[in-house]
Structure 1
Amino acid sequence: MTPRAIHFIRHAEGYHNSEHNEGIPDPDLTPKGKEQCKQLSQSFPYFDRIDLVCASPIRRTIQTALIGMEPFLQSGKRQILALPLAQEATSEPANTPSDMKRLENEFGHVVDFYRCLTKYTDFNTNQGKWAPDNDSLAARALELRCFLRDREEDEVVVVSHGDFMHQVSRDVDENGDQAKGDWKNVECRSYHFWPVGHKDALLEETEESVKMRNAKGPGEASDSAKIETP
């Protein structure tokens, strides 16, 4: 069964954002970022529908999921699934995951790191699958879409990163450059798989998601990220 919807959320503000410094290794959320997450926990409209929350194994996305998805986590014995395929697109220190020892010490009580410990043990090397070149990013985005398409849950949340989500939605031009509006901190866009059965697991933003973002007004919402069928 394919999920009815995938809700992608960009992480909240990290110190690399506020200080404009990608050289900060795997930074924390700022106090403003934590407040953004609290607001997300109150405004996210789909807590009664989601069955799985995933996050890139980078600390700010995990922190965003812990705070922003708190109602989901409190609703039973649920964990966040660490999803290496969803990590950021560049190899800067701010976008390179910490080592597993640190991640497990900080988040092992509530995050399932199975995929980091088994299938993707090299997830923080910035090499091979994790390299920042356009071909590698496109291949990783395709693998992520296929992974999500093949899940059995009805609706899934993925907390990820602005640059890489352009790759996932295929919102890039022939040179790999971003072609539409940036994702803002804690912005949510919802997608379904369309056309059904496409080999590349293409995504189309839902009409509900487009309306919700457009209703926020100029400066708060980005352009629609509908994916054209090639």
Structure 2
Amino acid sequence: MPPTLYLVRHAEGEHNVNRRHHLRDPHITPLGHAQCAALRDEFADSEKVSAVLASPLKRTIQTATYCFGAALARPDVPFVLVPLAQEVAANPCDTGFPADELRAALPEMVGPATVGFDLGAKVDFGLVEEGWNSKSGIYTPSFPAVERRAALLRAWLRARPEQNVVLVTHGAFLHYLIEDWADYDPKKGTGFCNCEVRRYGFAEDGSLAALEGAASEPGYVKGARPDWVNRNVLSDVDPAAAGEEARL
């Protein structure tokens, strides 16, 4: 049976303040820490969580650790970094570091005393291959590549053996993952608030269906992507058509 997904946008990052997109892979802000604490206290399904997944960006790793530390402290709950879940653009704030540099940065991101377990020993870097942060191939900032990446991630998530899976990812990419722009806010670049959680299940065709909230009300119709969405950061170039090998 496909898992239930808890899709989470990361807490406020330093780049979210005054649109500082030039910052390379920034940390979360003091407000972001407060948002994590609030979600940690409010999240009622911690005991149900059987896997925690996150984009390999620092703000998503921090958010996952601070919000879902109680679940991650259990030995049977894996913490997997998933490059397919990275943000759509090639801005410095959306470009991560190689696995070895990211691993070395974990202690400054989240101290063991803060969460009560050894984050370095917990995090699974198995999918963080060389070139994951290249913004080329499947990670190209283009509509075809992002849509293909979202489809691959949906299929991969659907095949996960766990029953309840948390995925911490990014505001713009979340819309491609759920294939819904009905509440997209062009001023924010997303319809998701920082540290917002939405619960989804899989439909028979492999698409995602909201399990609660407005999107689950009778007669709800998913909103298609407006042509102008992300035109400032994504192109129409198809890397597959150009013969560029996708990194999976």
SS in 1 for 2:52: strand
2:125 to 69, 92, 113: 113
Q: Evaluate the alpha carbon distance shift between residue 225 and residue 65 of structure 1 in structure 2; reply closer, same or farther with a 3 A threshold.
A: farther
Q: How many angstroms does 1:172 deviate by?
A: 4.3
| 8 Å contact kept, 2:181–2:222 | no
Cα distance in structure 2, aligned partners of 1:193 and 1:213:
13
CA deviations over 1:68-93 (Å, ceiling 9, x no partner) = 11111123354410011111010100
Unaligned 5+ runs, structure 2: 107-119, 224-248
Structure-2 change in CA distance of 1:12 and 1:179 (3 Å): closer
Q: How does 1:193-212 map to 2 (within 5 A)?
A: 193-194=202-203, 196=204, 198=205, 201-206=206-211, 209-210=212-213
Change beyond 3 A, Cα 1:193–1:213 = closer
**Equivalent position of 1:132 in the other structure:** 141
Equivalent of 2:172 in 148, 159, 163: 163
Letter in 1 for 2:11: A
Aligned to 2:52: 53
Q: CA RMSD in A?
A: 2.6
What aligned pairs does 1:1-230 form with structure 2 within 5 A after superposition?
Answer: 1-3=1-3, 5-76=4-75, 78-107=77-106, 108-117=120-129, 121-172=130-181, 178=184, 182-194=191-203, 196=204, 198=205, 201-206=206-211, 209-210=212-213, 227=222
Q: Is the 8 A contact 1:10 1:183 kept in 2?
A: yes
Write the letter of the residue equivalent to 1:2: P
Give the CA deviation at 1:44: 1.1
Determine what percentage of the aligned residue pairs are the same residue. Answer: 32
The corresponding residue for 1:219 is none
SS at match of 2:32: helix
How far did 1:7 drift? Answer: 0.6
Work out the CA distance in 2 between the residues paired with 1:16 and 1:114.
Answer: 27
Counterparts of 1:30 and 1:70, CA distance in 2: 18
- Which one is further off, 184-193 or 107-116? 107-116
State the alpha-carbon separation in 1 of the partners of residues 78 and 201 from structure 2: 23
Deviation at 1:106, TM superposition (A): 2.7
Gaps of 5+ in 1: 215-223
Give the C-alpha shift of residue 140 in structure 1. 0.2
Displacement of 1:42:
0.9
Q: Is the 8 A contact 2:50 2:76 kept in 1?
A: no
Deviations 1:5-59 (A, max 9, x none): 1010000001000131111000011111011111111111211211000000000
User: What is the SS of the residue equivalent to 1:183?
Assistant: coil
> Which TM-score applies when normalising by structure 2?
0.76
Return 22-31 or 105-114, whichever deviates more.
Answer: 105-114
| TM-score with structure 1 setting the length | 0.82
Deviation by residue 1:81-108 (Cα, 9 ceiling, x = unmatched): 0011111010100001112222111333
Q: Distance in 1 between matches of 2:121 and 2:146?
A: 30
Distance 1:140 1:33 in 2: 27
In the superposition, relative to structure 1, how do residues 225 and 29 fare at CA in structure 2: closer, same or farther (>3 Å)? farther
